[in-house]
Amino acid sequence: MSTDARARRRRNRALSAVAPAALLALVTALLAALSDRSPARLALDLAWAPPSASRPFGSGDAGVDLLALVSHATVRALALAALVSLFGFLVGTPLGAAAGIFRGRFERWTLRACDLVQSFPTFLLALAVLSAVRSPSRLHIGLVFCVTAWAPFARVAAAQARVLSESQFVEAARALGLGSVAIVFVHVIPNLLGPVSVQIGTSAAGVVLGETALGFVGLGPPDGVSLGSLIEQGTLAMLRAPHVLTVGAVAVILVSGSLQLASEGVRRWVHLE
């Protein structure tokens, strides 16, 4: 195969990896931005109205336009998920890489901390921290997820770095007199980005589901623009307006599903290279 064709194939693979999430983000962002629909505008006479031509997803509690609610809530959930997983990536990767290179007590304690954080029931943690805040905002929710977001990245990075630390180019760098910190940042981190990046989609899907669960039990952002609040509305009005529940549930499946597909795409792409 010519290098040209290989490069094209690699580009295609890259596209198929990020396409689901990118498409979802683009469509919802466009919907939210281009239309003049707003989840804050209420039409009381349309409360719980089924889907119609002017409101394709129907209306919810107090006549909120469900199309506007879903698109705004999805954009915000995706933004939160992106920021939290970026934080986890930026903190966890160097930490894990350093643990895999330095070994010894540092690695043991890092992995022990990963165990502790990953075995935490995130939901309880969120409840414990949010209970100290008068009305939790999206910022507070994001901060709670950041407490645990770094651990999976650190674990994958540590496992990869352990393998890399035995490789010849790291040995060569050591022989040339490079310090451990420089080795971590110049030689190790660039070489473990592939496997670690698989984790981003998984993490983001976890954040979206976590935010939805918090919103469902009433710990969501106070403006109520969250997929969890939408599902809560839907379950309360299950007998009267089943379309609300359907819209919310399908939206959650689509968002978390496309993030997982993206992660799976990245995994295939990384492994084929």
Partner 1 sequence: MSGQGAAAGSRSRPTDAVFALLRLGATVLGRTGGAVLTLVALASLVFLALRLLPGDPAALVLGEQASEADRALIRGKLGLDRPLGAQYLSFLLGLARLDLGDSLARPGTSAFAEVGRALGPTSALAGLAVGLGALLGIAAAVACVGPWLGSRREWLHRAVLVVAATPLLSFAPLATYLLAVRLRVVPLPGDPESGASGLLFASGLLSLPLAAQVARIGRAALLDLGHAKFLDVAAAKGGSPWRVWVVHALPAASAPISVVIAAQLGALLGGAVVLERLFERPGLGTLMLSAYAARDIPVLEASVVAAGLLFVAVQALAIFIHALIDPRGREP
Binding site for partner 1 (CB under 8 A): 112, 115-116, 118-125, 127-134, 209, 212-213, 216-219, 228, 231, 234-235, 238-239, 242, 245-246, 248-250, 252-253, 256-257, 260
CB nearer partner 1, residue 97 or residue 213:
213
- Residue 103 CB burial class (10 angstroms; 0-12, 13-18, ≥19): middle
Tokens of 136: 């939790």
Q: To which residue do tokens 């995994």 refer?
A: 267
Q: How far is the CB of 75 from partner 1 (least distance, A)?
A: 18
Shortest distance (Å) from residue 153 CB to partner 1: 17
Contact 97, 189 (CB under 8 A): yes
| CA 226 from centre of chain | 15
Residue closer to partner 1, measured from CB, 97 or 214: 214
Least Cβ distance, residue 51 to partner 1 (angstroms): 16
User: Is the CB of 80 or the CB of 183 nearer to partner 1?
Assistant: 80
Q: In angstroms, what is the minimal distance from the CB of 56 to partner 1?
A: 20
Shortest Å distance, C-beta 259 to partner 1: 10
Which of residues 105 and 168 has its CB atom nearest to partner 1 in the complex?
A: 105
C-beta of 15 vs 238, nearer to partner 1 = 238
Is the separation of the CB atoms in 199 and 27 below 8 Å? no
- Considering beta carbons, is residue 3 or 131 the nearer one to partner 1? 131
For 55, the 3-state DSSP assignment is coil
Q: Smallest gap, in angstroms, from Cβ of residue 229 to partner 1?
A: 12
Give the span between the Cα atoms of 159 and 104, in whole angstroms: 14
Residue type, 145: F
Compute φ and ψ for 88, nearest 5 degrees. -60, -40
Cβ-contact 96, 154 below 8 angstroms: yes
Task: State the Cα–Cα distance between residues 60 and 50, nearest whole angstrom.
Answer: 9
